[in-house]
Amino acid sequence: NAGVMQNPRHLVRRRGQEARLRCSPMKGHSHVYWYRQLPEEGLKFMVYLQKENIIDESGMPKERFSAEFPKEGPSILRIQQVVRGDSAAYFCASSPDTGGYTFGSGTRLTVV
Amino acid sequence: SQQGEEDPQALSIQEGENATMNCSYKTSINNLQWYRQNSGRGLVHLILIRSNEREKHSGRLRVTLDTSKKSSSLLITASRAADTASYFCATLRVDSGYSTLTFGKGTMLLVSP
């Protein structure tokens, strides 16, 4: 079991471009969570998804950010028209129905 | 809203000393977890304490939980330079049929040889 796989590990985008971050949950985990960590800060919850459904997106910015977890394939966090303030580490976690989060190693997004 | 708040923000000690970090939270919880993060790296789960537990040990780690004060502490005994990292508490709350894990801002621990 490879754990939670996030890619890419590092992503550099120019202002105005799109960023797509991928997260493959652990085998058997149907719950995915995305968190954002700004420099020198803790992790802030963004969105919780189950297969094909967004359960809680209370931490997602209202514009430019979207997330999906399709029936097949990884969960995707998409940031359109990136700005410098989007530079952060984005972590994904997955859990089974019985609970217990496992975190990925994160994607570090730098907007130049 | 931020659930966990760690204290202190930063802690600098010598190898061999003990390090104590505190965490306070605001709402009822199912469990509280401590994580470690080395600079620029991912999170490592250290220890989980349930809401009906008061103290838990794992190796050189000791965690306490006081639900009446809504606070927890993490003690690292006989610290080593390799313990240098940021430490985060995270509270798990189950509401509306699903769980939410909320992190504090962390304590940055520096252990000098």
Write the residue in A43, A55, A106 that is nearest to B103 by C-beta.
A43
* Nearest alpha carbon to residue B15 among B83, B107, B110, B111: B111
Q: Does the distance separating the beta carbons of A101 and B88 come in below 8 Å?
A: no
Residue range B67-92, pLDDT digits in tens: 999 999 999 999 999 999 999 999 99
Report CA-CA distances (Å) from A65 to A19, A21, A47, B40, B95. 10, 11, 10, 23, 25
* pLDDT beyond 80 at B96: no
Please say whether the beta carbons of B46 and B38 come within 8 A. Answer: no
Which amino acid is residue B82, in one-letter code?
A
pLDDT of B3 over the 80 cut? no
Q: CA torsion sign, A38 to A43 to A46 to A50?
A: positive
Q: Which of A33, A13, A34 is nearest to A86 (CA)?
A: A13
Q: A36 and A43 in contact (C-beta within 8 Å)?
A: yes
Is the pLDDT reported for residue A100 higher than 70?
yes
Q: Spell out the SS3 assignment of chain B.
A: CCCCEEECCEEEEECCCCEEEEEECCCCCCEEEEEEECCCCCEEEEEEEECCCCEEEECCEEEEEECCCCEEEEEECCCCHHHCEEEEEEEEEEECCEEEEEECCCEEEEEEC
Asked if pLDDT for residue B4 goes beyond 90, the answer is no
Q: Cβ of B2 under 8 Å from any chain A Cβ? A: yes
CA-CA distance, B31 to B102, in Å (whole number)?
11
CA distance A82 to A12: 10
Collect all residues of chain B within an 8 Å Cβ-Cβ radius of residue A55: 98
**Quick one: pLDDT at residue B2?**
41
| Chain B residues with CB-CB distance to A54 below 8 A | none
